[in-house]
Amino acid sequence: MLLYESNVNVLVCNLLAVKGYHIVQQLSTTEQGENIIAIRREDNMRLSIEAKGQISSKKRKQ
Protein backbone atom coordinates (compact mmCIF):
# COMPACT_ATOMS: atom_id res chain seq x y z
CA MET A 1 0.00 0.00 0.00
CA LEU A 2 1.44 3.35 -1.06
CA LEU A 3 0.85 6.40 1.09
CA TYR A 4 0.42 9.84 -0.38
CA GLU A 5 1.97 12.71 1.55
CA SER A 6 -1.51 14.07 2.34
CA ASN A 7 -2.46 10.72 3.93
CA VAL A 8 0.71 10.79 6.04
CA ASN A 9 -0.18 14.31 7.25
CA VAL A 10 -3.67 13.22 8.31
CA LEU A 11 -2.42 10.10 10.09
CA VAL A 12 0.29 11.99 11.97
CA CYS A 13 -2.14 14.75 13.01
CA ASN A 14 -4.65 12.19 14.26
CA LEU A 15 -1.96 10.44 16.30
CA LEU A 16 -0.70 13.70 17.78
CA ALA A 17 -4.23 14.76 18.74
CA VAL A 18 -4.75 11.46 20.58
CA LYS A 19 -1.43 12.05 22.36
CA GLY A 20 -2.60 15.44 23.65
CA TYR A 21 -1.22 17.81 21.01
CA HIS A 22 -3.06 20.81 19.57
CA ILE A 23 -2.52 21.02 15.78
CA VAL A 24 -1.57 24.61 15.00
CA GLN A 25 -0.80 24.14 11.30
CA GLN A 26 -1.48 21.43 8.73
CA LEU A 27 -0.41 22.41 5.23
CA SER A 28 -1.69 20.87 2.03
CA THR A 29 0.71 19.35 -0.49
CA THR A 30 0.59 22.54 -2.58
CA GLU A 31 1.75 24.78 0.28
CA GLN A 32 5.37 25.26 1.33
CA GLY A 33 6.75 25.13 4.84
CA GLU A 34 6.52 22.80 7.79
CA ASN A 35 3.67 20.40 7.01
CA ILE A 36 2.57 20.05 10.63
CA ILE A 37 3.08 22.26 13.68
CA ALA A 38 1.69 20.90 16.94
CA ILE A 39 1.91 21.98 20.58
CA ARG A 40 1.52 19.58 23.49
CA ARG A 41 -1.07 21.01 25.89
CA GLU A 42 0.52 19.83 29.15
CA ASP A 43 3.91 21.53 28.72
CA ASN A 44 3.72 23.62 25.51
CA MET A 45 6.29 21.43 23.73
CA ARG A 46 6.28 22.45 20.06
CA LEU A 47 6.79 20.00 17.19
CA SER A 48 7.56 20.98 13.60
CA ILE A 49 7.15 18.11 11.16
CA GLU A 50 7.99 17.76 7.47
CA ALA A 51 5.99 14.73 6.31
CA LYS A 52 6.98 12.57 3.35
CA GLY A 53 4.92 9.95 1.58
CA GLN A 54 6.06 7.14 -0.68
CA ILE A 55 4.64 8.95 -3.69
CA SER A 56 3.47 12.47 -4.35
CA SER A 57 -0.22 13.19 -4.67
CA LYS A 58 0.60 15.97 -7.13
CA LYS A 59 0.35 15.20 -10.83
CA ARG A 60 3.67 15.40 -12.60
CA LYS A 61 4.11 17.65 -15.63
CA GLN A 62 5.22 15.65 -18.65
pLDDT for the residue numbered 15: 97
Which residues pair with residue 25 across a beta bridge?
A: 37
**Model confidence, pTM:** 0.78
Phi and psi angles of residue 57, each rounded to the nearest 5 degrees, phi first:
-85, -5
The percent of the chain in helix, strand and coil, each rounded to the nearest 5, is: 25, 25, 50
Instruction: For 24-53, write each residue's pLDDT tens digit.
Output: 999 988 888 999 999 999 999 999 999 887
The dihedral of CA 22, 40, 15, 26: what is its sign?
Answer: positive
Place 61 in a pLDDT band, splitting at 50, 70 and 90.
Answer: low
Strands 36-40 and 21-26: antiparallel
